Chain A
Amino acid sequence: EPEVTQTPSHQVTQMGQEVILRCVPISNHLYFYWYRQILGQKVEFLVSFYNNEISEKSEIFDDQFSVERPDGSNFTLKIRSTKLEDSAMYFCASIKQGHSYEQYFGPGTRLTVT
């Protein structure tokens, strides 16, 4: 069964450093999402991406965040200058066009900012 993959599984970085989290969505999916989950809290929507542009973003997704689909397979989330409060699990998700019921989530990247 096809699945969304994410790398790395765990990233440790120092405050102020840039990090790039990578996702490979399912190959025939066209809509992509990033969510985050701070330890013990709810899963929160960050951004959706379609046709090489951001469709929607939450208040969390400020100027420190950016997304990119640099090639036909990868979907990345960049945090320019990490803060302690960026420590969280980051999940990538994707859906097929016209099948927005079921979002397929990746296993997540645990980001630890020290």
Chain B
Amino acid sequence: DAKTTQPTSMDCAEGRAANLPCNHSTISGNEYVYWYRQIHSQGPQYIIHGLKNNETNEMASLIITEDRKSSTLILPHATLRDTAVYYCIVRVRNGGSQGNLIFGKGTKLSVKP
């Protein structure tokens, strides 16, 4: 699986957009970008994934650069409850039996009032 690089920490004001970057310069053509988050010692929570097109769901938007070497997770209106560690994970989509996730250290996002 391709390696990812994320900033250790970021701050964001409540109500503003939080933009979390991720570098994955060695990503291969069949690897997807996944984002998960972990709110203080809870189980990780899936947020969004993408291959090459930008994606949006009810939680966030994912912007992937054209060369796929980096991506940005956008939380459009951050709330205090979005304070968490955010993980960018790159891996091949498997049939499921080998779908184990490799977590890095992630970005600790602190949303401040």
Please list the residues of chain A having a beta carbon within 8 angstroms of any beta carbon in chain B.
4, 30-31, 33, 35, 42-45, 48, 50, 55-56, 58, 89, 91, 93, 95-108
Given A43-B38, A100-B93, A101-B93; A56-B49 close (CB under 8 Å): no
B46–A104 CB distance below 8 A = yes
A55–B44 CB distance below 8 A = no
Which chain B residues (70-94) contact chain A, with CB distance < 8 Å?
Answer: 87, 93-94
A45–B101 CB distance below 8 A = yes
A98–B96 CB distance below 8 A = yes
Max chain A CB contacts within 10 Å: which of B32, B96, B102?
A: B96
How many inter-chain residue pairs (CB < 8 Å) link A and B?
Answer: 70
For chain A, what secondary structure do more than half of its interface residues adopt (helix, strand, loop), or is it mixed? strand
The interface residues of chain A lying within 8 Å CB-to-CB of B38 are: 43
B100–A108 CB distance below 8 A = no
B105 to chain A, nearest CB (A): 6
The interface residues of chain A lying within 8 Å CB-to-CB of B97 are: 31, 48, 50, 55-56
A105–B105 CB distance below 8 A = no
Max chain A CB contacts within 10 Å: which of B42, B49, B99?
A: B99
B17 to chain A, nearest CB (A): 24
Q: Please list the 4 inter-chain residue pairs (A to B) with the smallest Cβ-Cβ separation, ordered nearest first.
A: A105-B43, A100-B99, A55-B97, A43-B103
Given A43-B44, A108-B42; A98-B99 close (CB under 8 Å): no
B30 beta carbon closer than 8 Å to chain A: no
B3 to chain A, nearest CB (A): 14
A31–B43 CB distance below 8 A = no
> Cα distance A97–B2 when bound, in Å?
24
A89–B46 CB distance below 8 A = no
A45–B96 CB distance below 8 A = no
B93–A105 CB distance below 8 A = no
Which chain B residues (45-63) contact chain A, with CB distance < 8 Å?
Answer: 45-46, 49
B91 to chain A, nearest CB (A): 9
> Cα distance A5–B95 when bound, in Å?
24
